[in-house]
Amino acid sequence: MVQRARLQEQLRAALGAKLVVLAAPAGYGKSTLLATACELGELAGPVAWLTLDKEDDDPVVLWSYLLEALRRACPALEIPSSPESVGRTETVDAYLTELVNALSLVGDVTLVLDDFHLLSGGRGRESFGWFLDHAPANLRIIVAGRSDPPLRLSGLRAHGELVELRAIDLGFTTEEAELLLNDRLGLGLSGDDVEELVTRNEGWPAGVYLAALSLRAVDDRHAFVTRFGAANRHVVDFLVDEVLDAHDPALQTLMLRCSVLKQLCGPLCDALLEQHGSAEQLSELASTNLFLIPLDDRGQWFRFHHLFGQLLRVELERREPGLAPSLHERAHMWHRDHGSTDEAIGHALDSGSFELAHDLIAARWAEYANAGRHATVLGWLDRLPPELRESSTASVGHAVPQLEKGIKQENDNMPRISKMQIELMVNSFAADFSRIATLQFTNSVGQAKMHWLGIDEGHHELSHHEDTKLESQDKLMRINRWYCEQLAYLAKRLDETPEPGGSGSLLDNTTILWTNELGKGNSHTLDNIPFVLVGGGLNFQMGRSLKYKKVAHNRLLIALAQAFGRDIHRFGNPDFCADGALTGLS
């Protein structure tokens, strides 16, 4: 068990609320958090705890158990009748009035109802709703479950009498995962590996723990972390048993077949399933806090939790082998007809309908290239068979550069040219011919083959290999190390060259910005692109490694421009510039 101080503090701060709701999918630690708070005495007064089951929809059963729990917690509670003695459900309301009056006389009490989602409806739920509305001021009620409780919460929320903790609050932070994995389980993972596990699980505590079960039995723990996903047997067993099989066959079918989609909406799911009514099913799933995450305020678009989505795709292939391509083809047609070109092409490629993808790429590539989305077009072309790729290359013109014959295959002069270009740059600075220079070695489709490093494959080809191919990782590290050496050589030459007409060296008065056009080669992501700054020209503090989570690159570019003396507050898309220049650089 991990002490989660931030959540325990939130519970302590919630003691003044009439109702506390913990609503999140299975495995988010709701019961564990409440049990810990009970053990530490952090809840108000004695605690009455009842874990519900499906039979508690009967109000006589529900209130019999609740009364027993309250009496165990508060022996001084006196009430003349009981639900069993009352007998008929229509007279339970009268009994509840007695209970409310009796509770008002016993001091502070906390009532915890766990697995509240099992109180699905009917008279049991209605009677609890009445009890909540009329509960005395000395009673604190906490309900925990996998879905939003079907209670009248809006009034409590408006009057500040409701505290809500949801999956986004209950998910593991990196620090909490570190406590579990290294302090409690002694796995000795690096900070980056812990963060990677949290990211892959989107903070889902059960997923992190299930990963730990497997990590104890492997030698290369870093390699395991990089490939951890829904194929892990512990994860599969948990999600199938606790989440997927808990729903009726119709909802299971929707989840499994629609897992091929990155984003879901009712009409799109209807097209995949060849049915009507998917929007209502999605609303039902979303209301149960399944691993279904809303993407808009109108409740129309959703996505699956990444790990759960992986599991669904694995399970789809197990239960209905060979169906996925047909589902992708239906998704392609829906997106094509609704003007969603990116998704239409992606699903056509996933379905193996390469001719369909080729035709759509040929028809739409120009607008993507004009918008600067060359990497997107190139990613599509890379997935086409060679014969279609060649015809597409001819049709998309400048999207794929055509270099002189032999250059792409015979580029062993690249190290010599690199040194020549660097010397040219340094000398142009020393002679004050130029104050700004750009050096681009290659691009994502340059197909440089670095034979001088003992590597025969093209850099671009290697970048698309799976993360689990250790041989490819080694080659990519050698390539990146060579690029680092070029940066080091440039910095060295600047450092040993005096600043013309000034003090110090050229490096003291220059800032080098080194970066790559992509964050991850095999998926063409633009997230987590590394930037390296060297030199004192802009008065940034060097010798540090900074990690900014979910910060737009635009903010770094604004900071660079302002350091050059340009008074700008946006660079590129204004949606990514709202927070202004990146801070913490000086």
Is 280 within 8 Å of 15 (Cβ atoms)?
no
Within a domain: 107: yes
Same domain, 129 and 190: no
User: Is the pTM higher than 0.75?
Assistant: no
Give the integer Cα–Cα distance in Å for 117 and 145: 5
Place of tokens 């590996």: 193
Provide the 8-state DSSP code for 524: T
Model pLDDT for residues 433-459, shown as the tens digit of each residue: 888 899 988 765 556 778 888 888 878
**Cα-trace Rg, the chain:** 30
| pLDDT the model gives residue 110 | 92
Give the integer Cα–Cα distance in Å for 77 and 102: 6
| pLDDT the model gives residue 278 | 93
Backbone φ and ψ for 376, nearest 5 degrees, come out as -65, -45
Give the CA-trace dihedral at 113, 116, 121, 126, to 10 degrees. 30
Q: Which amino acid is at 366?
A: A
| pLDDT the model gives residue 399 | 44
| pLDDT the model gives residue 409 | 43
Same domain, 107 and 130: yes
Same domain, 189 and 114: no
Same domain, 78 and 188: no
Same domain, 188 and 79: no
| pLDDT the model gives residue 401 | 45
| pLDDT the model gives residue 83 | 60
Within a domain: 251: no
Within a domain: 449: yes
Is 436 within 8 Å of 481 (Cβ atoms)?
no
Give the integer Cα–Cα distance in Å for 338 and 324: 21
| pLDDT the model gives residue 512 | 95
Domain endpoint, select from 124, 141, 167: 167
Query: Structural domain tally of the chain?
Result: 3
Domain endpoint, select from 479, 503, 527: 503
| pLDDT the model gives residue 450 | 85
Nearest in space to 407 (alpha carbons), one of 456, 461, 449: 449
Same domain, 122 and 183: no
Same domain, 63 and 195: no
Q: Name the H helices within 445-584.
A: 459-463, 470-495, 553-563
Helix, strand, coil percentages, rounded to 5, for the chain: 55, 10, 40
Same domain, 47 and 68: yes
Domain that holds residue 222: 174-228
Within a domain: 384: no
Same domain, 185 and 49: no
In sequence order, what DSSP letters do the residues of 194-213 get, joined into one string? Answer: HHHHHHHTTT-HHHHHHHHH
Within a domain: 580: no
Residues of the chain with pLDDT under 70: 1, 55, 80-93, 120-122, 213-214, 217, 227-239, 242-243, 288-290, 369-375, 390-411, 443-447, 522-523
Same domain, 96 and 39: yes
Within a domain: 319: no
Domain endpoint, select from 147, 167, 187: 167
Within a domain: 521: no
Same domain, 192 and 163: no
CATH code of the domain containing 71: 3.40.50.300
CA 582 to chain centre: 23
Give the integer Cα–Cα distance in Å for 75 and 102: 12
Same domain, 216 and 79: no
Within a domain: 462: yes
| pLDDT the model gives residue 493 | 93
